[in-house]
Amino acid sequence: MKTVLAIDTSTSQTSVALIQDEKVLFNASHNDPLAHGEVLPKLVSQALAVNSQVDLIAVGMGPGPFTGLRVGIVFAQSYALAAQVDWVGVCSLDSMAAGINQSEFIVSTDARRKERFWARYKDGVQITQPSVSKASELEKFGIPIFNEGDYFPDPIKLAHIALTSQSVLQPIYVRKPDAYPLPEGVKFRPMTALDLVLAISIEKEVYGKSAWSAEQFKEEFAKAPKSAQYLVAEFEGKLIAYGGIFYVADVADIHTLTVVADHRRKGVGRELLKRLIDWARVKKAQAIMLEMRLGNDQAHPLYQSFGFVEVSKRENYYGPGLTAVVMRKELE
């Protein structure tokens, strides 16, 4: 008898199953796109409490959002190494498709930014490579589409596939990463009064009519360093980004986080955000608030990846017809 521990974190759902031949010893899932790292060890511990003897680890290799997906993969590979057992990677979409009784269909999962990870199947066999597309583009195929929400990768099916199929050895990242290692030469430092003219110029260029005025910018900057922190990023001697955070009554508020267009998606904004959060922790803030413009599909995934959740909306916050999404992150 072979006992298989199956893990998948490729979607908003964290799933774990333990099977022994055809017998399901444990099967549980938890749906929270921000809780993979917290939930997975708990579910695995519950599974091992049923039977601690594991012969094989099966893990969903995606496609899926990078942060959540790698939680399951790293955990599975580390556990296999520690337990001295083999691991087998499985395309997560295949474990969704295995439970669908249709001749030809598409399965898809949420890729964020109004896109879907998907693959096409015929008689249960994958006939196209996993891809990422706008949701509307999938409708042109004219065949049934089974979406995340109604369907999820099935860890029991995943375990059975792992026993009969060749291992997928690399994570299935069908989209270029949102952030890259910082380019050599990027430097971060506190903002000084000498940076204000250029920062205000960038503010107007990026945000147009909804930009802070020079007076507003100077007023907020004047709170540093006692109750605020403003940082800048430089590349080859030029200011390319800035961010600011204010602290009062146990709650910090990120006032701005701005990166010039040529340096976005290179990890600069992520590093600035990390440093602002670290400053809030030093100040012993209990939570951090921020506002972002509704429809900012670049910033929203970044904030979500740091644990910010939407709490409300503010109509006309940035001007007529420009809505702000209010987000909050609790600090431990």
pLDDT at res. 178: 53
Burial of 30 (0-12, 13-18, 19+ CB in 10 A): middle
pLDDT at res. 316: 84
The fraction of the chain above a pLDDT of 70, given in percent, is 97
Q: Can you give the pTM of this predicted structure?
A: 0.58
Domains and CATH numbers, the chain: 3-164 (3.30.420.40), 186-330 (3.40.630.30)
In this predicted model, what pLDDT tens digit does every residue of 160-219 receive, in sequence order? Answer: 999 999 999 999 988 765 555 666 889 999 999 999 999 999 999 988 877 888 888 888
In this predicted model, what pLDDT tens digit does every residue of 287-304 receive, in sequence order? Answer: 999 998 888 878 888 898
Average pLDDT for 11-34: 95
How does residue 322 score in pLDDT terms, banded at 50, 70 and 90? confident
